Amino acid sequence: MKNILVVVKYALFNPRNFIRLLSRIPYIIRGLKYAQNWNVNLNELEGLKENHKSDAENQIQQIYNKNIVGPGVWKWAHYLDIYDRYLKKFVGKKMSLVEIGVFSGGSLGMWQNYFGENSFIHGVDIEEACKVYESEKIAIHIGDQGDRNFWKKFKQENKRADIIIDDGGHHWEQQIITLEELLPWLNDGGVYICEDIHGDIHRFRAYCEGLAFYIDACDISVMPADSGLISQKMDFQRDIYSIHSYGFLLVIEKSENKDHQFMAKKNGTEWQPFLK
């Protein structure tokens, strides 16, 4: 009932967006059906060469695989490639990372090893026992990630971070609160990762689909002398560069530059007449 009221209220106060949302449903269903029936036989695709994947491990996979003894770290294997893809730009730099969910401490060491001696790692956990993993360049903060007051104090006491990894309680409400508290606080050019978004109807995943909806909001106008197109960015589009969806995991990149508009400037002097 509460959810129905949320929908009705949104429809009444944001009719334009509500229609945009509704008009997507048939295409969401079309995409669902396509994905559900996905059955590509490579042999039937003429000219498609088999994709030979390199067996070489990236640096973070090597660190993970060598962690045979000592503090435990527990990640889905496919995450390691995703981490390297988005996080390698911080390796060797002066940077800081916040990981929610410390458990047995091994992931904190993994991050420190990967990013190098200029890194600073914050671990956040609800269990007091995790304090044992504190060291010169690792701070442990005890608190509940679902508590906005905890984050308020945390943000007052610590400098903005470059990376946030949410691997804590994995409950959708905790994940939403953590994102709402930390995404605005994350440095420009920073990366936000939320892990272990399992399940068919995951409310945090649905929430992020709402965020992604705004990534392609457009308000297009023609530039003077027909020299191209511009679209004014909403504040969210200005600050959030991209949202990526992976199996069980989501990545959000914050913008490095705070451009206020998307621009498609025409370059060249010769144009076909058929596209005005």
Note the residues at the interface with ligand SAM (CB under 6 A): 73-75, 99-103, 106-107, 124-127, 144-146, 167-169, 174
Residue (83 or 90) nearer to ligand SAM, CB: 83
Task: Report the C-alpha gap between 259 and 215 in whole angstroms.
Answer: 14
Task: Report the C-alpha gap between 25 and 23 in whole angstroms.
Answer: 6
Dihedral class, residue 189 (left if φ above 0, else alpha if ψ from -120 to 50, else beta) = left
- Say how many CA atoms lie within 13 Å of 229 toward its Cβ: 9
Q: How far is the CB of 118 from ligand SAM (least distance, A)?
A: 22
Q: How far is the CB of 42 from ligand SAM (least distance, A)?
A: 35
Residue (110 or 208) nearer to ligand SAM, CB: 110
Residue (19 or 129) nearer to ligand SAM, CB: 129
Question: Residue 104 is encoded by which pair of tokens?
Answer: 């047995």
State the CB neighbour count (10 A cutoff) for residue 233: 20
Q: How far is the CB of 99 from ligand SAM (least distance, A)?
A: 6
Residue (96 or 107) nearer to ligand SAM, CB: 107
Q: How far is the CB of 249 from ligand SAM (least distance, A)?
A: 12
Task: Report the C-alpha gap between 37 and 42 in whole angstroms.
Answer: 15
Residue (119 or 174) nearer to ligand SAM, CB: 174
Q: How far is the CB of 130 from ligand SAM (least distance, A)?
A: 6
Measured over the CA atoms of residue 194, residue 198, residue 203 and residue 207, the dihedral's sign is: positive
| DSSP label at residue 135 | B
Residue (9 or 171) nearer to ligand SAM, CB: 171
Q: How far is the CB of 153 from ligand SAM (least distance, A)?
A: 14
Residue for token pair 């200029």: 118
State the CB neighbour count (10 A cutoff) for residue 73: 17
The rounded Cα 196 to chain-centroid distance in angstroms is 12
Residue for token pair 């671990």: 123
Q: How far is the CB of 92 from ligand SAM (least distance, A)?
A: 22
Check if the beta carbon of residue 140 is closer than 8 Å to that of residue 121.
no
Taking CB positions, which residue lies at the least distance from ligand SAM?
A: 169
Residue (11 or 142) nearer to ligand SAM, CB: 142
